[in-house]
Amino acid sequence: MHSLAMLVDLSSRRRECIFLPKVIKITRHSHYLSHTLCIPDGNLICKICRNHRIKLKPGYGGYTCIDNSCDYVAHSVCATLKEVWDGRDHHIEEHEEDSNSEADLAALVDINGKSMRHFSHDHDLLVSDVERGEKEDGYVCQACILPIEFGRFLACKQCDFALHEACGSLPRKMENSLHPHSLILQIDMMNIEEGFFTCSVCLRESCGFMYQCSQKDCGFQMDVICASFADPLNHIAHPPHLLFYTFSNFEYSCMGCDQRSKNVVHCPTCYFPLDFKCVTLPRLVKYKHDVHPLTLYCDKSNTRFENLSWCEICEEKINVEMLYYICHDCITTLHIGCMIGKYPYLKPSHRIKVDGLTIQITTNSSVSRSICHTCHRICQDKLVFMISGKDVVVRDFADINIV
C-alpha cells in the first residue's frame, strides 16, 4: 500500500509538471521566464526561495530568464506560487506593448530643469534642497506623510504641497516583488470612505498615496514607503549580509522590534528576519533637542551603549539589541515610537472614519496634553484621535472600538 501511494503521488507530480506554463512573468524580475526541462548548469540557487540547501540540479527542470545574459533561475514550484505568479501564460511579444503603455504613465514631468509637474497637483513644483536651505523647515511629504528633513524635494510655489523627490518620482503603474499583480498609484484619499487605508505589507495605517492592485477582485494595497522597497537590500541592523524578501506562512520574530510577522526580509546565510515596519523606518531623523541627525541603529553585541541607553523623551531604558535612534556625537538615544510616533503615516488635521465614527486626527503638541478616555492618563504619542460628537480623546485605534 505504501509503494502504491508513492506511485500515485509521483504520477500526480508528473502531471503537474507536464502542465506547467511555458512562459511566465513575475513581478520579482524584469524579464520573462521560460520553463525548461533541463537546467544547463547545475548547483544554481533559486532566486525566489534563496535556499542554499535545495539548489537547482543539472538535468532537472526549472525556470530561466529569456535573456541569455541574465542568470536568473527559479524552482518550478517557487516560480508558480500564487504569491509570486499571477497565474497567466504569457507571450514574449507582450513585453514591448507593456513597455510602451508604461511610458505614458510618468508621474513626474520636468518642465525646465528647476520646476516639475506632478499628476497629483495642479501647480508647478520647485526643485529644492534641505541641505542648501532653499526652503524653510516644516514641510510634510503628501505621498508618505513623513516630514521632509533631508535631501532634495519638490515644493509648490503657491501652497504648502510638497513631495520627497523619491516619492514624487515613483511611477503611476509599477510591478513590485511584494505582490504578483501590477499596482496602480492612487492619490486621493477622498475616494476612500474611511479617509485612510491599512498597508497590506507593513500593516500600518496611512493617509498618503496608495498603490492598489490592478485586479478588481484583489484587495491588496500598499503605501509608498513599502512600494519603494528594493530586493535585496542592505540594512543597518544586519550589515554583514544582504537581506532578501521571501514569502512564508511561518511567523518570524523580528530582530528589530521582537514582534511576530509573516512579512519579513531575511538573510539566507544566517537567521536574521526583519519585518516591514522595521525595514521601512527612516534611516535618519531630526530631533529638536539635538543639532545632529539621529541614525537608526542597533547593537547586537550589546557592548557600546549598554549603560547609556535611556530614551530622552520617555526616560525609560532602551533595549540596545533592538532598533532605536541615536546621535553618535552626543549619544542622544530615543525609542523608535517616541521619535516618530505610533502612527507616523497618518496626517494631522485629517478626518477619518472608524467603525462608523468620525475621527479628527490631531497633533499632541500643546502645553496641556489630552487625557486618554480609556486609560485616563496623559497621552504621550505625537497624535491623538478626537471622536466627533462625543468630546472624547483616545490615543489608539483599538481604543476607538471600546468607547
Q: What does the pLDDT look like over 242-254, one tens digit per residue?
A: 999 877 778 889 9
Percent of the chain with pLDDT over 70: 84
Given a cut of 80, whether residue 335 has pLDDT beyond it is yes
Predicted pLDDT at 157: 84
Question: What number is the average pLDDT over the span 347-369?
Answer: 81
CB 151 within 8 A of CB 177: no
Positive or negative, the Cα torsion across 193, 342, 293, 286? positive
Given a cut of 80, whether residue 13 has pLDDT beyond it is no
CB 52 within 8 A of CB 44: no
- From its phi and psi, is residue 217 left (phi > 0), alpha (psi between -120 and 50) or beta? alpha
Q: Which residue has the higher pLDDT, 24 or 191?
A: 24
Question: What number is the average pLDDT over the span 106-120?
Answer: 82
Predicted pLDDT at 181: 93
Predicted pLDDT at 7: 35
Predicted pLDDT at 290: 93
Q: Tens digits of per-residue pLDDT, 154-206?
A: 999 888 899 999 999 999 999 999 999 999 999 887 667 788 999 999 999 99
CA distance 141 to 132: 18
Which of 54-58, 141-145, 180-184, 219-223 has the lowest average pLDDT? 54-58
Predicted pLDDT at 369: 67
Predicted pLDDT at 103: 41
Task: pLDDT band for 133, please (50, 70, 90 cuts).
Answer: low
**Phi, psi for residue 224 in degrees, rounded to 5:** -70, -20
Predicted pLDDT at 6: 37
Give me the amino acid identity at 376. H
Please state, rounded to an integer, the average pLDDT across all residues of the chain. Answer: 83
Helix, strand and coil percent figures for the chain, each rounded to 5: 15, 25, 60
